[in-house]
Structure 1
């Protein structure tokens, strides 16, 4: 009798210990959660932050669009001036200004009006440095500027209203999860209302001047009524909706195998259930599987290569690079997000309760082993 009591006590203790061990191992709450707020901004130096803050505070109502005629051609721009606490040489300041400009492009989709030139060297060709005062021009294409600041301000207002309307159209239920929302955004942007700019994919014809912006994604359309985009436009649109829904999201610039424009590419990263995943709406919208690049991990394989191999963020500080910022992007999870089965049946239930099923099996096995040992001890 005493032996049986001992075995029973040992079995209970083993069950408790096994359950505690599994729960501790599976609990990652001790790890610090990723935070996107201020992520790129905090990588800027003091002078770059001053430029970034200035760009974000620009009011088109009080910032006139100017024009210069050079060689018979008209060039448009706005002029920005600010004080830098430690302005260095013109070359150093020029790189700092371009870095700050690039940071706004990765963080704030609504700053699209300053991006009519994708190339930082074309957008901000030079700077003037006088003591601690720095001034520079942000160049604008004709389509952005010819109506003047008032017209451009109206385009910005129309874009904000169109984004709000798009977000309202989702009509998520109160029980919709963040994963549900991310999936719905991706599906929306992969829909028939959007298309990749055919002039870019074919290398011929006139490109849509707004294809890399939220104005192109939500307001401007082509002759067929579709919104014409390229990768930066898809990424900006995805981030704009995520921002409205409170989903942590950033845009990443880099290179991607299979993209257009000499492999230059833009995609997004999101925080979902305290983990960072990659989202490439462009590849989903133009590929055979519209969810192949939805919340993927670094080692998610598509077309024979992992995401970390096919998508490489710009990390160089070489001033010859097109995007010379050298911003560090978040490391992704190794594996993609574990989407539940679509049927909502037994597979989903097993997935939801997998940790407890494992605990139960381990405990049952330990109980059987200890019981068998006890039986032998009685013989």
Structure 2
């Protein structure tokens, strides 16, 4: 993603009281380097982690700290600051701040600014992984996503945290935040479109230590997310358990099971123009999961596993009342690609099916390259072998062509 889109843009950086505030200094520096004009708003708690003087020196502008600052209200007050901004990014956005924003509370300069501005808002969550996964935090995030269409979510990432825990909740690195912000201003054939992509495998628990899964690496879905963001789209990536970094400018939702992915996809349909289902979702799950590890009993028969069908995510999306304008399915096959893809196209009621041969070791699961067959209602096109980035570009161009040729959904 080129950073030229940030040149001469007015960026307000909001900083709240989290340990990741130390990264905000580098964020401001990088915005300035990219040619943006930056003004900083700090909450009272943020000033315990980093000094306003540091941010003033880096931004070249006074730091706004108080809603009741008489001098500030004579000049760049909260209303004028709200009008000045082309985008407001809150980094870090703590659990407390997200809760106050969701409730519409305006008890400091930053929360008041967000109620007053019509500019897009970006939130870079940062908190302990247990706070991130807490039901209240997730409720607040879901409510904001459903209610506010101009809010972008940057992260969080997973990894080691200052408290010693490991998990989701780390604020994205400043370089990635800057790239994500640039994507908000980018122009391209998918600008203004929200693309939701599912990627990777799912895991269906057998007992606390075992599960059913498959060999999907998620690489194709992540390549599509990266390419869609580069083409100007707002991208939501629903990722199964994979070890891949989040592409710059992409919102990531981590899930584990098919039911988790089904729930995330259903929620994403409240705002979705294009859905691409690359995930290798398990067709079946256990009817009941053992509460304790199943022990081997050499004197008795091997345990049997009773399976039930998982919900069909791609069919749900394609037949939903909030159906996206375009729905693209993937078909991982080992034979008769075109026939199987054609059948899936008809039964799932999707716009196209991307089929690939996963019996080959040089393409497909885990490989860096892929060879696909695009099967649409009016054309069948082969592409590859090529690296997955090139394949992603091809697939997205085919989706763009559907609208250019005014093909009905």
- Larger-Rg structure: 1
More strand by share: 2
Shorter-chain TM-score category? Answer: under 0.3
TM-score (norm 1): 0.25
More helix by share: 1
* Higher-RCO chain (CA-CA 8 Å, sequence separation at least 6): 1
